[in-house]
Amino acid sequence: MLKIFGAVGSGSIPVEATLTLLNIPYEIIEAVTWQDEAARKRVEAVNPLRQVPALVFPSGEIMTESAAILIDLADQHPEARLAPPIGDPKRAQYLRWMAYVSSSIYSLFWIKGDPMRIAASKEDTPRVIGRVHDRIADCWANMDRQINPGRYILGDELSVLDLYVTVISRFGPWRTRFYRTAPKMTEIVRRVDADPRLKDFWARRYPFEDGWER
């Protein structure tokens, strides 16, 4: 069976949500890498960067990088219509924003997870986190200004891009600020939060606890 090194409320969640929609069974190896050295060690065997998500296919092949995993899963299962296929006029913007969320936004969590990787001192860490949050908010605003959504970001069909944005926008600076900075995507992420096909999944893997929007 497909194995995923992942964690509740992490970047493995859009991948797991996609597998849930595709009805593909998978085994989770829980690894809260940003909190726990033992978890980082566990992941290191498959991903020397010690980050989740990391997938191990039944063949033994390993894949990391959330955006690439999502794009590949959607392409491998075209019948589920979770991405515009090659040749579709929406394909370029789809790939553009998948890469953007990964490189301009999600990658900044390497700093947030441990600000001392960048900060000059412990006292400097609130400033570093503040700057990272501002940058993330600016990047969401920049994306929001340039999209022309329908019910979902690319039009009227749910894609893995919606799952990706829905999950990553729950990380700091959290949803209330996202709603302020990304008004066009606000309704979309709320629609994905409320998708009945994912109700049990969210409850298990990224619950909407009191005050989750902050």
Ligand X SMILES: N[C@@H](CCC(=O)N[C@@H](CS)C(=O)NCC(=O)O)C(=O)O
Give residue 28's region: left, alpha or beta (phi > 0; psi -120 to 50): beta
d(CA 101, CA 69): 14
First to last CA, the chain: 37
For residue 35, report the phi and psi dihedrals to the nearest 5 degrees. -120, -20
Among 74-82, 105-113, 131-139, 198-206, the segment contacting ligand X (CB under 6 A): 105-113
Site for ligand X in 106-145 (CB under 6 A): 106-107, 109-110, 113
Contact range with ligand X by CB under 6 A, out of 99-107, 127-135, 183-191, 200-208: 99-107
Q: Name which position in 20, 21, 46, 51 contacts ligand X (CB under 6 A).
A: 51
Of 98, 115, 106, nearest to 154 by C-alpha is 98
Among 4, 11, 55, 56, binds ligand X (CB under 6 A): 11
Task: Choose one: 48-56, 178-186, 192-200, 205-213; the region binding ligand X (CB under 6 A).
Answer: 48-56
> Quick one: which of 4, 17, 19, 53 contacts ligand X (CB under 6 A)?
53
Residue 166 lies near ligand X (rule: CB under 6 A): no
Three-class DSSP category at 205:
helix
Task: Write the CB contacts of 23 (distance below 8 Å, at least 6 apart in sequence).
Answer: none
Q: If binding is defined by CB under 6 A, does position 18 make contact with ligand X? A: no
Interface ranges with ligand X (CB under 6 A): 10-11, 33-34, 50-53, 64-67, 102, 106-107, 109-110, 113
